[in-house]
Structure 1
């Protein structure tokens, strides 16, 4: 591991920006229609439960990353296989998020620029960042977190002043019952973005005070979930259900409708800055986790050198995972949740926690029996 430490506030900022990430650009939970905000909140509650699992594993092994404690829990051979699969999973998610943001930039601003060029420029900035280490990334997050909240507050105030919000668009609540909301939660919002916090199993060992890890993580996930629910409710109240179901970037569509005093309008730059900040941190954390895990798994002495080849792999993967954006979205909704998110975010961590719990109990019982066993020499 890198010899670095971050404080509780920096961890909070990293988790918050990570969770907001691509959730600001992709239309999440729209299948639940005007109840999407409720599905997001339910997904947040599930994400909090999952973080309890990740945190408990961290408590068993506070000084090593997930790549290392997986080998301790399941054995060296099987553990290395599981660790490698997790690194591939993180690299794949980094590529997916890179594709999301590259496509967004091409669609909104750089119409004549090839997607590969946009993604290549983004990955160059990311390589430079992750080579600097987790401390630099965390300090950058402290600065940009304030900017992101200022943009969010300004955007909300301007939407309200413009008179765009129609609460009736959020009615009736639970029009089709609770089943569609629960289904959307299980198939989407539980995993993206909240379950993706599994990547912080690679970051938690850098925390300088392990006692605040649980409180910090739960607070960050909870606040991000509330923010995303508010964003979803605003999008539906401004655009309506029919437009939301068709919109590729609903938050952008809502911001584009802002018009104050016939001169303050077309504030696309608010959307661009906020989403790029979120995407930058989401990709960076996945990217950093892959580098840190690979260096640990294969005993690389200078992890920063891995940034270039792994960055190239993520760039190529972002271009090849789908032939077009529609296929990319369909893959993310139909295939990835069941075959990737469910095992890597839920099933494997629960299994690892169960094995770690049993091993810890056996170890503790042996220690207690050794203490209670009388010393034969002292009896003689």
Structure 2
């Protein structure tokens, strides 16, 4: 492990930016139409429960990275295999988020630029930051956090002033009952973005005050959930369910609708800046999780040496992951959720916690 220390506030900011990341970009939980905001809030509640599982493992092994405590819990062979799978999982998710932002930039800002160039430039900035350590990413997050919230508040005021919001688009609530909402929670919003916070198991050991971990993490998850639910409710109330579900990036479509006094319009460029900051932090955390896991597993003294090769893998996979954005979204919402998120975010952590509980009970007994 590197010799770094994070404050509770830095952890709070990192989790918040990570959670907003790509989730605020895509039409999250749109399968339940005008009840998408409710599915996000319920997913957040489930995500908080999952994070408590990750925190319990952290409290059992407070100064040990996950790649090491997996070996202590499951034995060396199984533990090392699990750690390797998590490294691949984090690398793959980093590439998925990079593809999200590459698609957005090519669609809205650089239609004539190859996606490889866009992704490579974003990846170069992330790789450089991560090579300097987790503290640098946390400090960058602290600075950018203020900018994001200023833009978010400004955007909200401009949408209200423009008179775009139609509350009737959010009615009727629970038109088909609660069961479709629950289904979306357990197939989508529980895992993306809230369960993805499992990446922070690699960062928690750097917290300078472990006692604040629970309050900091849960409050950050709550705030991010409220922000995402509010953003989705605004998208639907401005665009309507049909347009919001057909739009690749509903938030940007909403912002494009802003028109104040016939001169303040086409503001999506400014808000793309805020979205890229979220993506920068999310990909950065995933890349750091993969790099620190690989360094722990293979006993690499200088983790920064692994940043460039793993970063290159993330870039290549982001381009090869799907032939188009529709396929990429479908794969992310249907295939990845069941085959990857469910076992890596729920099943394996629960199993690890159960065995850790039994082992620690024997020690105390």
Give the TM-score taking structure 2 as reference length: 0.99
Aligned counterpart, 1:267: 267
Tell me how far 1:3 sits from its aligned partner.
Answer: 0.5
Tell me how far 1:78 sits from its aligned partner.
Answer: 0.4
Which consecutive unaligned segments of at least 5 residues does structure 1 have? 366-380
Distance in 2 separating the partners of 1:146 and 1:123:
23
Distance in 2 separating the partners of 1:236 and 1:87:
37
Distance in 1 separating the partners of 2:333 and 2:243:
20
Tell me how far 1:270 sits from its aligned partner.
Answer: 2.8
Distance in 2 separating the partners of 1:270 and 1:45:
31
TM alignment of 1:215-254, pairs within 5 A: 215-254=215-254
Aligned counterpart, 1:108: 108
**Are 1:155 and 1:270, in contact at CA under 8 Å, matched by a contact in 2?**
no
Aligned counterpart, 1:361: 361
C-alpha RMSD over aligned residues:
0.6
Aligned counterpart, 1:373: none
Tell me how far 1:324 sits from its aligned partner.
Answer: 1.5
Residues 273-332 of structure 1: CA distance to partner in whole angstroms, max 9, x if unpaired?
111010000000000111111111001111101111111111111111112211111110
Aligned counterpart, 2:328: 328
Distance in 1 separating the partners of 2:120 and 2:164:
38
Distance in 1 separating the partners of 2:187 and 2:175:
20
TM alignment of 1:123-142, pairs within 5 A: 123-142=123-142
**Are 1:251 and 1:271, in contact at CA under 8 Å, matched by a contact in 2?**
no
Q: Does 1:205 align with 2:205?
A: yes
TM alignment of 1:278-293, pairs within 5 A: 278-293=278-293
Tell me how far 1:183 sits from its aligned partner.
Answer: 0.8
Aligned counterpart, 2:190: 190
Distance in 1 separating the partners of 2:185 and 2:111:
34
Aligned counterpart, 2:341: 341
Aligned counterpart, 1:369: none
Tell me how far 1:171 sits from its aligned partner.
Answer: 0.4
Aligned counterpart, 1:150: 150
Residues 177-224 of structure 1: CA distance to partner in whole angstroms, max 9, x if unpaired?
111111111111000000000010000000000000000000000000
Residues 120-168 of structure 1: CA distance to partner in whole angstroms, max 9, x if unpaired?
1111111100011111111111110000000000000000000000000
**Are 1:17 and 1:145, in contact at CA under 8 Å, matched by a contact in 2?**
yes
**Are 1:58 and 1:201, in contact at CA under 8 Å, matched by a contact in 2?**
yes
Distance in 2 separating the partners of 1:208 and 1:22:
28
- State which structure, 1 or 2, has the greater radius of gyration over its C-alpha atoms: 1
Tell me the matched-pair count: 365
Helix, strand or coil for the counterpart of 2:36? helix
Helix, strand or coil for the counterpart of 2:21? helix
Distance in 2 separating the partners of 1:196 and 1:165:
31
Q: Does 1:87 align with 2:87?
A: yes
**Are 1:106 and 1:113, in contact at CA under 8 Å, matched by a contact in 2?**
yes
Give the TM-score taking structure 1 as reference length: 0.95
Distance in 2 separating the partners of 1:235 and 1:324:
24
Q: Does 1:312 align with 2:316?
A: no
Which consecutive unaligned segments of at least 5 residues does structure 2 have? none
Residues 48-86 of structure 1: CA distance to partner in whole angstroms, max 9, x if unpaired?
000110000000000011111111100111000000000
Tell me how far 1:271 sits from its aligned partner.
Answer: 2.1
Helix, strand or coil for the counterpart of 1:23? coil
Distance in 1 separating the partners of 2:252 and 2:135:
32
Distance in 2 separating the partners of 1:207 and 1:292:
15
TM alignment of 1:364-375, pairs within 5 A: 364-365=364-365
Distance in 2 separating the partners of 1:159 and 1:319:
35
Helix, strand or coil for the counterpart of 1:22? coil
Structure 1 residue ranges, 4+ long, deviating more than 6 angstroms after superposition: none
